Each structure stands twice: as structure tokens, then as C-alpha cells.
Chains A and B, each alone.
Chain A
Amino acid sequence: MSIIFNKVSYLYNQNTSLEQPGLQDVSFKLKTGSFTAVIGHTGSGKSTLLQHFNALLKPTSGSVEIAGFKIDAATSNKGLKPLRQQVGIVFQFPESQLFEETVEKDIAFGPQNFGLSEEEAHKRARLWLRRVGLSQDLATRSPFDLSGGQMRRVAIAGIMASEPAVLCLDEPAAGLDPQGHQQIMQLFKKYQAAGHTVVLITHDMDDAARYADDVLVMDHGQLVKHASPAEVFADPDWLHRHHLEQPATVAFSQALARAGMQFEHLPLTRSELVQAICQQVKGAGQ
């Protein structure tokens, strides 16, 4: 069950003097079980795109096929609950949406809303509290007494506890410390490995290179490239034209290549890079 965007355009404030294109003629297909990074500079249409994944926005023209639904301009708002159960979205600053008395109740709200019994939902909540790396002691605390990083994890657990088939994330790690950043990204990678589809909006090119197997590049509301990370990040000039940068690893690898080192494949992650260097510098590490 892949995700298909078919010539999707979206106009903000349609038929008013403030009309403004949000998306223009965007078409792509994402495989089930893939991990897709959506990159593009601020204002390129990434968040607008994401809101089309569960019909928070509906295309002005074109259609979206996802989780057995087909959404177009005529789709009614009624009956979309099963879609939102299947497609979970973690927005920027999700901690601003916490509202319950306790952490456990907040996480359990989603699963319960989607039909789990109270007991079952709370069991899920405790499970996901642990999976996002928080101590069980926090379950009975008010979410508003937690640190910013802890609140972020609670909010993410609240979406993931419904175990959606498609998990969409808008800058989920921004503002987390590096350790928390890595833990939360590993959690999403594990979620993908368990058979779910993950879509990640990120400014962090290192994350896109390290975790994604597919990349969508947005600019001015248009999809300007859909390719593997290796292909997207190979051309620094093209990236600069779209106000993007190479991941540090890729830029460094290319600098090594220009200075005479030869690579079979362009290393995308730091561990690949180190391994490639070790192969070149023979005798090292032995």
C-alpha cells in the first residue's frame, strides 16, 4: 500500500486577494516501509506537503492516495478518523499540544480516542513512555512540570502510541540535545524496521543522509527532486541553488576524492566514511 501524490496543487486562501500557491503540481510515489526525508529551505512547502498526508489540507487539484483512502478537493471531512489513525503526524513543537493532567493520560488519549479500552490505552502509554526513553516515574507527573526535552518525548509518544502505519514527523529533534536527538531518531528508524512507513521533514542534512532511504526536495512549493540520498547529496552546486547544503560527511568525502582518494561509493554516514578511510590507509587498525 504505497503513498501516491498525483499532480497535487494547493492554494492558500483560494479565491481571495490573499491567494498564494502552497504546492504546485506535486507527484510522487513512496513505497510502504520506506523512510523518506523531505528537505527544502524554510518556506519551500514542506509543512504544507505534510498536512496533505492525513487530509488536514486537501488538494485544490489532484489527489492523494494513502492507507486505502483517496483524497481530493471533494473529499468530505466526515469519516476521516480511520485515516488519522493510520497516518500519525508529529508537528513542530508538539509539546505545545500537551493538555492532560498526567503524562500517562496524555499519551493514552490518542489510542483511547481511536477505540482502545482505557486499560489497554494506558498499557500502551506506559510502553511508549519507555520506548521514547523516559522513566516510568514520570507517568503520574503533570506534563507541564517536565523539561522541554521530556515534554517533546511525551508528545511524540502520544502519536506513536496509536501505532500508525505511516508516521510523519516535522523537525521532531530540533532543540533536543545530541544524545536525545540520536535516541529519538533511532526510535523512528526502529519503527521503520518494524514495517511502518516514516516521513521526516528535516533541516539536518546529516539526519537525511544517515536515516533516510529516499529523499524529496521541495522548493517554492514544487518537488524539484525525488531520489536516493546518495544522488541528492552528490551535487553541491545543485543543492546551493536550492538553498541547501551537503551533509558534512559528503562534503568531506568529496574533498578527499578531489585530493586523490578513491571511493567505491560516496560515504553518507560518519561510520561509512571512517571505514572507507581505513581501507585507504592500509595497515591501519590492524
Chain B
Amino acid sequence: MSFNLVEVNNLTFTYRDEKQPALEKVSFALPAGSWTAVVGPNGSGKSTLTRLLDGLLWPDSKHSEIKIAGERLTKQNVWSVRQQIGIVFQNPDNQFVGATVADDVAFGLENQNFPPEKMQERIEQALAAVKMQDYAGTEPSRLSGGQKQRVALAGITALRPKLLILDEATAMLDPQGRRDVIALIQQLRQDYQLTVLSVTHDADEAALADQVLVLSHGKVKATGTPADLFSQPDLIASLGLKPPFVMDLKQRLAAKGIEVPAEITEEQDLVNYLCQLSSTK
């Protein structure tokens, strides 16, 4: 954990015909093996950032620097650097190319000239890791949303990237599907020493991160641990995050004159506190 897998310095990017940059002087680092959540309202530059990291867009000037595994991202090395990055997007239907689940996982490997004799084993392993081995011959369109995201993750982990970018990857899933996919990512992260960057509006997902990067109008507004940031209700509201339920309720109660002590952060503790309050009055 001693080195930074990703270092971003002074990143500025302006879309064509725009006056305001979409990202302005953004700097941060992702320690190898860490999980970082990027949060911020729609239009704050989150997706632009992921596209720059993957070399799909290029910064305005050479004073901006993106380093991945110690190597500065340039137009010359973009193809090799990109092999170290995997991205899962919000809409799983936009990322399938194969006629079957196994073909789909094979596609990325073929693209990287993976030795054909080892391919079958790698595909089986990748599908087993996401518990989709029984669906190898299934057409992707027949899968549920959660299953599609699992296959997308299998296709990516088969390539053994160092950096996994999740761009709202769980936004379309039902609560159970969302929990399953997040648990799976945690597991893959340990198994393959992945560094994770997740773009999200979900406070519960951001709470799993080691660090949270807050973007607002293209600038880094704050960085810190989830605990640091989530203890500042005013900041939360401006982050484009839905506050966790207990925090939201405490704020609403405070507005009505019922101050709940700060140390109460769990649902059951709040239940007990409120019931005590109502029985003693």
C-alpha cells in the first residue's frame, strides 16, 4: 500500500465550444489497493474525470498530468496503459458484445492477444468468481440487471486490471442486487489487489470507501474519510449525496427541537433513545 497507483496533478479539461472548464486544477492520488468514492452533483465533472483517466479525453495543456502505475499517460502509451484499467458503466446493456456470456468475457481477452489455449480456463475462473459459471452459454440479453453487472465485472477482472472504475455501476440495481454487487467487488478487490474508483450518489456505497473525493463545478471541494465527511450535514447536502437515513432523521428532528446526541449513529440506538424520551415525558 506504499505507492500510489494513480496520481493526478493539476488536471484541467474544457469541452469544445465551452467557456467554463469541466474540470479545473484537479489533483489527487489513489494509493494502490485503496477504494475511493467520487461524489458530486450531476454535471460536477465525475464522468469527465473517468474518461480522462482512460484516455478517452485529453487534458487542455501539458501542465496537467495523469500517472498510472508510475507511467505518465500519453497518446503514445494510451493503449498499454488502458489495459490496466477496467470500467463498469451504469447501463449494462451498453457494454455487451458477445452472443453468449462466455463469448462476452472472451472478447476482452482476445482483444489483448491472450493465449487461446489458456483462455477457457481464464473465462471459467472469471465467471466462477462472480458466481455466473452456470450461465456461460446464456445470451446476455436474457440476464437480469444484477446478473449483467456481474458478467461485466467478470469480463473486466479476466483482464486483471490494476484499476477498476465503477461509473454508477449499481444505480440501476434493486437493493438486493446492489448489495450483492458491492460485496462481490469487495471480494474481487481483495483477490486481485484491485484499486477501486467508484462514482456514486449512494451514501451507503460511498461509506465503504477508504477516501471520498468531492467534486463540485469541476473542482475538488473536499477529500477525506467517509466518517469525516458524513459528520458534516451541510456538506452532505451540497455533495449531491443522499444522506444516510439515520442522519437525515436526526436533522429533521433537530429542526423540530428534538436534539439527538451526536454519538447516536445507528438505527437501533436511535429507536431506543426516542422510546426512552417518549416514556419519560
Contacts and interface: CB of A to CB of B under 8 A. Distances in A.
B47 A148 contact: yes
A248 B203 CA distance: 14
Contacts, number: 121
Interface in A172-207: 174-181, 203, 205
B275 A259 contact: yes
Given A145-B15, A174-B171, A284-B257, A256 B275 contact: yes
Contacts of B257: 278, 284-286
Nearest to A20: B142
Interface stretch (B116-124, B222-230, B264-272): B264-272
A125 B26 CA distance: 36
A147 interface: yes
Interface residues of B, number: 45
Interface residues of A, number: 46
Nearest to A42: B144
Nearest to B256: A285
20 contacts: A42-B173, A145-B17, A147-B47, A149-B41, A149-B42, A150-B43, A175-B172, A177-B41, A178-B240, A181-B242, A243-B174, A243-B176, A245-B176, A248-B245, A255-B271, A256-B274, A278-B257, A281-B281, A282-B281, A285-B257
A223 B40 CA distance: 38
A281 B42 contact: no
Contacts of A261: 274-275, 278
B91 interface: yes
B168 A274 contact: no
Interface in A227-263: 243-245, 248-249, 252, 255-256, 259-261
Interface in B127-151: 144-146
A273 B201 CA distance: 24
B174 A281 contact: no
A243 B240 CA distance: 28
A270 interface: yes
Q: Which 6 A-B pairs have the closest CB atoms?
A: A149-B42, A177-B240, A147-B43, A285-B257, A42-B144, A280-B278
Contacts of A286: 257
B61 interface: no
Nearest to A175: B171
B90 interface: yes
A145 to B, nearest CB: 7
A93 interface: yes
Interface in B175-192: 175-177
A171 B173 CA distance: 10
